[in-house]
Amino acid sequence: AQKVTQAQTEISVVEKEDVTLDCVYETRDTTYYLFWYKQPPSGELVFLIRRNSFDEQNEISGRYSWNFQKSTSSFNFTITASQVVDSAVYFCALSAQAGTALIFGKGTTLSVSS
């Protein structure tokens, strides 16, 4: 069975702080895909990143970076120099192969205050 755990329910930071959102996953598949989505207060889920199980390279996109470690089954997300606009619920998700259903974690609510 596949499972995604986001142990942090809520995180509050002050602007310009760095923050890391944790994601731990479980799967028996050797090939799988990991995702992060953002759900701002408006409600629509926005895709942030996709990673396949064969690519453990970390990725950086602007203020966002992702750390994928198969040894610990983790796919953590770091926001550097957080901004108020980063306030949202962030979901980590897992799928067995491209195009199949995503299994989501329960999400981490990030609140960034000015």
Partner 1 sequence: DTGVSQDPRHKITKRGQNVTFRCDPISEHNRLYWYRQTLGQGPEFLTYFQNEAQLEKSRLLSDRFSAERPKGSFSTLEIQRTEQGDSAMYLCASSLGLFGGTGELFFGEGSRLTVL
Interacting residues with partner 1 between 52 and 81 (CB under 8 A): none
The number of residues that bind partner 1 (CB under 8 A) is 25
Report d(CA 95, CA 29) in Å as an integer.
Answer: 10
Does 103 bind partner 1 (CB under 8 A)? Our answer is yes
Q: Which is nearer to partner 1, 20 or 97 (CB)?
A: 97
Report d(CA 9, CA 36) in Å as an integer.
Answer: 15
Partners of 104 in the β-ladder? 93
User: What's the min distance (Å) between Cβ of 48 and partner 1?
Assistant: 9
Is 79 within 8 Å of 85 (Cβ atoms)? Answer: no
Out of 16, 18, 106, 113, the only residue in the binding site for partner 1 (CB under 8 A) is 106
Residue appearing with tokens 């796919």: 75
Q: Which is nearer to partner 1, 13 or 96 (CB)?
A: 96
Does 27 bind partner 1 (CB under 8 A)? Our answer is no
Query: Quick one: which H or E segment has residue 78?
Result: strand 74-79
Q: Which is nearer to partner 1, 82 or 95 (CB)?
A: 95
Out of 44, 54, 61, 114, the only residue in the binding site for partner 1 (CB under 8 A) is 44
Is 78 within 8 Å of 20 (Cβ atoms)? Answer: yes
